[in-house]
Amino acid sequence: MKTLTVDLPGREYDILIQRGLLDRAGEHIRAVCPRARRLFVVTDSTVGPLYSARQVSSLAAAGFETAVAAVPAGEESKNASQLSALWEEMMAFGLTRSDAVVALGGGVVGDLAGFAAATILRGVDFVQIPTTLLSQVDSSVGGKVAVDLDHGKNLAGAFWQPRLVLMDPDTLDTLPDKTFADGMAEVVKYGCIYDRDFFDFLTARPSRGELMDEIEHILYTCCDLKRKVVVEDERDTGARMLLNFGHTVGHAFEKAGNYETWTHGQAVAAGMCVAARLGVELGITPAEVPEQVTAAVAALGLPTRIDCGWNDIVEAIGLDKKSAGSRISFILLEELGRAAAVKMEKETVLRHLEAVYRQM
């Protein structure tokens, strides 16, 4: 088993990575939630039929009473109405402040269940059991939990750290190729912003089979990088902003497609390609970097460009959480493997971004 500790004073938790871990979830959750009697498991309509029975069996063996709520799979479930429904189900189940919530699924389930845990009874413990590559390398670690609003993605939420993160790489075997590639966009992102050697390691293994042969190393590396950033900047006011490379424009792509046409990973992949070119336009990114990023993205079958209305991009810049007044911190690459949050006037960003986007 590979173990990482997110060392936040008073809110420490471990990330455990091991094949077959799903069947031993109960014993590990019992170790961090010794007083809990009830666990409320949130999953979705895709993951539930695959894994919830095994999960409930493991939890029951550890002495937990469980209830399972399966939301419809997809981003459309990450909304205030679904959140309210979960609150009511938790209360009907008899959840108390000494009990806990378990998120069994991908990023939507983790965000929704985590926000429910952060707010029900003014906050109860929760455990992340991510089952997609995207959620394992990114959303399950760091305590960002949220729902979407009509105005955009993740605009209502909280910082609520899990008590434990359990990653079973075997759950990735059931992912469709498109969903696996979706997660790889975030994996490539880590190489782009933090670790050139890791970027080269990934590009030398373009097939899913080659990547799965090294999956424990990939998960450990990504989670270790994110762990260090979260410990340094839990509230996303400094170094943690770098994790949003490709996300500002990526969120515009997602919203333009009503969160249905383009997945998060696809949108971020294309957003990284745009951001790399913007960096060159602004004289910050070396000229050869956009082609390197584009080649890595394309090799995974991810889009390097997405068409959307210019107004969608303008709106995304205006609503971006890295905004402060008329300025925005846009994440750009100083070189492959090193990123910076560059503060600029939004008008300046949009002027240069339009020039880049129209040329792609």
Pair (111, 227) in one structural domain: no
Closest of 132, 126, 119, 111 to residue 165, by C-alpha: 126
Pair (223, 183) in one structural domain: yes
| Residue 307, C-beta contacts closer than 8 angstroms, at least 6 positions apart | none
Domain termination residue (choose one: 156, 174, 192): 174
Q: Per-residue b/e over 189-200, b at no fewer than 16 CB within 10 Å?
A: bbbbbbbeebbe
Range of the domain at 139: 2-174
Tally of domains within the chain: 2
| pLDDT at 340 (0 to 100) | 96
8 Å CB contact between 6 and 12: yes
| pLDDT at 326 (0 to 100) | 82
| pLDDT at 102 (0 to 100) | 98
In this prediction the pTM is 0.93
| pLDDT at 360 (0 to 100) | 81
β pairing state of 38-44 and 100-105: parallel
| pLDDT at 318 (0 to 100) | 78
Pair (100, 128) in one structural domain: yes
Phi, psi of 19 (to 5 degrees): -65, 140
E strand or H helix at 354, and its extent? helix 346-359
Domain termination residue (choose one: 143, 174, 205): 174
Domain termination residue (choose one: 174, 199, 218): 174
Q: Per-residue b/e over 45-82, b at no fewer than 16 CB within 10 Å?
A: ebbbeebbeebbebbeebebebbbbbbebebebbbeeb
E strand or H helix at 60, and its extent? helix 53-61
Pair (142, 212) in one structural domain: no
Pair (70, 96) in one structural domain: yes
Quote helix, strand, coil % in the chain, to nearest 5: 55, 20, 25
| Residue 254, C-beta contacts closer than 8 angstroms, at least 6 positions apart | 75, 153, 262, 264, 267
| pLDDT at 129 (0 to 100) | 98
8 Å CB contact between 147 and 79: yes
Encode the chain (360 residues) as per-residue pLDDT tens digits.
Answer: 999 999 999 999 999 999 999 999 999 999 999 999 999 999 999 999 999 999 999 999 999 999 999 999 999 999 999 999 999 999 999 999 999 999 999 999 999 999 999 999 999 999 999 999 999 999 999 999 999 998 888 999 999 999 999 999 999 999 999 999 999 999 999 999 999 999 999 999 989 999 999 999 999 999 999 999 999 999 888 889 999 999 999 988 988 888 889 999 999 999 999 999 999 999 999 999 999 999 999 999 999 999 888 888 888 887 777 767 788 889 999 999 999 999 999 889 889 988 898 888
CATH number for the domain harbouring residue 308: 1.20.1090.10
CA distance 121 to 260: 33
Pair (350, 201) in one structural domain: yes
Pair (201, 166) in one structural domain: no
201 alpha-carbon distance from chain centroid: 22
Q: What sign has the CA pseudo-torsion 30, 2, 171, 163?
A: positive
| pLDDT at 245 (0 to 100) | 97
Pair (127, 204) in one structural domain: no
Pair (216, 243) in one structural domain: yes
Pair (219, 162) in one structural domain: no
Phi, psi of 148 (to 5 degrees): -90, 155
Q: How large is the greatest C-alpha to C-alpha distance in the chain, in angstroms?
A: 60
Pair (164, 81) in one structural domain: yes
| pLDDT at 260 (0 to 100) | 86
